[in-house]
A = this chain, B = another copy of it.
Amino acid sequence: MKSLHNYFNRYISTLISDREFEFILSHFTYRKLKRRQHLLVQGEIFKDMSFIVKGAMRKYFIDEKGVDHVVDLYIENWWAGDRESFVTSVPSMYNIEAWEDCELLLISRENTLKLCRECPVFNEFILKLDERNSIAAQKRITSSISLTAENRFADFVERHPYFIQRFPQHIIASYLGISKDTLSRVRKKSLNK
């Protein structure tokens, strides 16, 4: 799995040796999902963090009124999961669905903790990931509390140009917390500028 290997090298300070990588990789399992198959269903405990080698996924939940809300979007080289359920073993409120056919590398909580203990490179890697994660979350929150629908979309396009080509508008609208109709209108307005 070249893709994960490169990914590691991108986030740690020293290059990773083949032996080290093999050791780390041995703690992952490989899994394929067909489009529309679910990695996680609301109510289950989320067991394995999933690195996306190929494909696209979305995390969503369904509210009391039956409306679904897209909470996260993922493509290659992203991690799909519900951290809360993963860490605390509470049933998840989220669903995670393959939006395209997917190839994944899964790692359990136990193996994550084991690798953090036994493998300094992996530990460093997790720290870096969390840093990036925290920075991205901060930006998303900032955008969601301070921008209008129009600017939120512009901000999204700028930050995630790839997503636009992989997910339909109504999914992106939901991710941004606006209705698909509003996004359609807002998009039209932006084009006329």
Give A61 to B71 CA distance when docked, in angstroms.
25
Q: Tell me the smallest distance from the CB of A159 to a CB of chain B, in Å.
A: 13
Give the size category of A's interface with B.
20 to 34
Q: Are A83 and B146 in contact (CB under 8 A)?
A: no
- Name the contact of A138 in the complex, choosing from B69, B71, B126 (C-beta under 8 A): B71
Give A25 to B137 CA distance when docked, in angstroms.
29
Q: Are A130 and B134 in contact (CB under 8 A)?
A: yes
Q: Tell me the nearest residue of chain B to A132, going by C-beta.
A: B87
Give A131 to B69 CA distance when docked, in angstroms.
23
A191 at the interface (CB under 8 A from B): no
Q: With a CB–CB cut-off of 8 A, which chain B residues contact A34?
A: none
Q: Are B83 and A134 in contact (CB under 8 A)?
A: yes
Q: Which A residues have a C-beta under 8 Å from some C-beta of B? A: 61, 63, 69, 71, 82-84, 87, 116, 123, 126-127, 130-131, 133-135, 137-142, 144-146, 174-177
Q: Are B144 and A141 in contact (CB under 8 A)?
A: yes
- Name the contact of A137 in the complex, choosing from B69, B137, B176 (C-beta under 8 A): B137
Q: Are B131 and A83 in contact (CB under 8 A)?
A: yes
Q: Tell me the smallest distance from the CB of A187 to a CB of chain B, in Å.
A: 18
Give A71 to B142 CA distance when docked, in angstroms.
6
